Structure 1
Amino acid sequence: MESAAKLDPMMETALRSLHDIAMPAPVSWWPQTWGWALVAALLAFAVLLVIFRRIRRYRANGYRREALSLLEGISDRLRHPATRPDAIQDLAEVLKRTALAAWPRDEVASLSGDGWVRFLDAHDEDGTGETLERLLDDFEYHGADLPSNVCGDLVIAARKWIEQHHVSA
């Protein structure tokens, strides 16, 4: 047993000359060339620009969100015959307030009748102007009683106009 524990002198010398495994330095995450730094800077700038534009669009469309919340209350009042005449007036008022928030006052405030209907049609994306024209011409100004089956169409047309009208920059 003693001879098994005793190692050969060459083996001892070889074992003493062994060292631990050398690990390479960790790879740096920093770009190795200025080109990658430029790409990273441009990418960061683009992300900030997108965020800035979305914030600006969100703030610019605040009047739309307010008009849509007012429209929800009007929609409930249009369902009841007792509150329907006032709701018709309020619906027309919400449309006018929405237009005043989006366009210059001198361009919108004086519009009424056919001029107002033409304005709504001119800034309409998908043809909801016919339903709104019926509201503005027949029901609002002539005091006609609005049938209950038309109430839903008017609210849908007003909602579409508020959501989709185009304001030139």
Structure 2
Amino acid sequence: MDELIEPAPVKFSFEAPGWYVVGILFVLLLITSALLWYRHYKRNNYRAAALLQLAKKVELFIPQQRYDALVYESDLLVKRIAMKKYGRNNVAGLTASQWIDYINQTWKEKSFTAEEGQLLNQKVYAFNNNISKEEAETFVEKSKRWIKKHR
């Protein structure tokens, strides 16, 4: 047997047709990713606007010790978002415990309790201004989490 003749090593080059295919697929992946990100951004832009609006209400009402107005405004904001997202017919007529049950169904956390329903019914809608700062802050924090995490 004679000695094997080895061919010369093939030099690496991006001029091979396979690299053009990989490059085109990479560009398509980048474009698709950018479009998906933009669509997600546009769909969830209202969340950032709502959180900003809620922060302004907190800055306005906490120093004035108007905790009833703060709870009312945060509930109103959550209700406006829910009407836009889930339809006016499903949301507009809900009050107190029905409303709390409904918003708990729209997210995994389900942290609004029956006490918040009573807080809305007896203290906000009945204009009984005996809402404590802790109750108001708790309701606002739950509202913020709902705005961030609802489906």
State TM-score, norm by structure 1. Answer: 0.69
- Asked which structure has the greater CA Rg, the reply is 1
User: Per-residue deviation at 1:45?
Assistant: 1.3
- C-alpha separation in 1, matches of 2:119 and 2:33: 40
Matched residue of 2:146: which SS? Answer: helix
Show structure 1 runs of 5+ residues with no match.
1-26
- What is the aligned counterpart of 2:133 among 114, 126, 148? 148
Q: Which residue of 1 aligns with 2:9?
A: none
The 3-state SS of whatever aligns with 1:96 is: helix
CA–CA separation in structure 1 for the residues paired with 2:35 and 2:101:
35
Letter in 1 for 2:123: F
Unmatched tracts of structure 2, length 5 or more: 1-11
What one-letter code is carried by the residue in structure 1 that aligns with 2:140?
V
Q: Is contact 1:124-1:165 (8 Å) kept?
A: yes
How far apart are residue 154 of structure 1 and its match?
A: 1.4
* Maintained 8 Å contact 1:78/1:88: no
Identity rate, percent: 20
Out of 39, 54, 71, the position equivalent to 1:56 is 39
Verify the 8 A CA contact 2:71 2:136 in the aligned structure 1.
no
Report the alpha carbon displacement of residue 82 of structure 1 after superposing the two structures with TM. Answer: 4.7
The one-letter code matched in structure 1 to 2:127 is: G
Moved more, 137-146 or 43-52: 137-146
Q: State the distance in 2 between where 1:38 and 1:108 align.
A: 51
Deviation at 1:119, TM superposition (A): 1.2
Q: How many residues align?
A: 139
Contact 1:113–1:137 at 8 Å: present in 2 too? yes
- TM-score normalised per structure 2: 0.76
The amino acid that maps onto 1:150 is: E
Counterpart of 2:71 (choices 88, 100, 103) is 88
